[in-house]
Structure 1
Amino acid sequence: MAKSDAVRITTARNSAADDMRSRQRRYAISMSIRLVCFIAAVVAWPSWWSWVFAAAAVFVPLFAVVMANAGDQRDDGFSLPSNPSAYELTAHDGED
């Protein structure tokens, strides 16, 4: 049986429900920014700014999907020793 690394509370992932809620919130914020860009493109129509806002509205969904799908990548930079017996406590059988 292979031993896996211990999970520390600093690197534990969020629950699936919290992760989904967080992804949905990031996507909703990104799509709100896209809507604002579309409205700004219409309002600023005769100027070159309308093209900037229109381009932003076209490319925001790409970034929104990437941001929404970005998983929880917690890492505290701490790694356990590679030697399995290093710092391992042995069981005391109670006989002294």
Structure 2
Amino acid sequence: MSHRHEQPVLITSAAPSYEDQLSARRRRYALMMSLRIPCLVLAVLFAKIWWLALALVLLSVPLPWMAVLIANDRPPRRSETPQQATRQAITGSEDAR
């Protein structure tokens, strides 16, 4: 019977790769910008309720600016420290013999 930990052992303090960070930031940008279209469409649909249409238009105005700021913000470095892996975890369990 093997005794495995639920969480994997952290053996490095390396940050996620640049490509992973870039794809996550692109997804955030696309999500934020895709929220602008429904706001503008709803503003047109609710044109007879002027205050609601105005609120939706005003909500959509800062979205591109916020999307750029959030997408260009790199994630902070993790403060986790690498954990020491035990020799048993490296070589396998006693039951594997």
TM-score by length of 1: 0.65
| CA-based RMSD | 1.7
1:70 deviates by 1.1
Q: Distance in 2 between matches of 1:30 and 1:74?
A: 24
1:67 deviates by 0.8
TM-score by length of 2: 0.64
Identity of aligned residues (%): 31
The residue type equivalent to 1:67 in the other structure is: I
1:40 deviates by 1.0
The residue type equivalent to 2:43 in the other structure is: A
Structure with more helix by fraction: 2
The residue type equivalent to 2:66 in the other structure is: F
Q: Which runs of 5+ in 2 are unaligned?
A: 1-10, 82-97
Q: Number of residues paired by the alignment?
A: 70
The residue type equivalent to 2:16 in the other structure is: N
Q: Does 1:56 align with 2:59?
A: yes
The CA deviation string for residues 8-35 of structure 1, in whole angstroms up to 9 with x for no partner, is 73x5321111111111100000011111
Of structures 1 and 2, the one with the larger relative CO (CA 8 A, separation 6+) is: 2
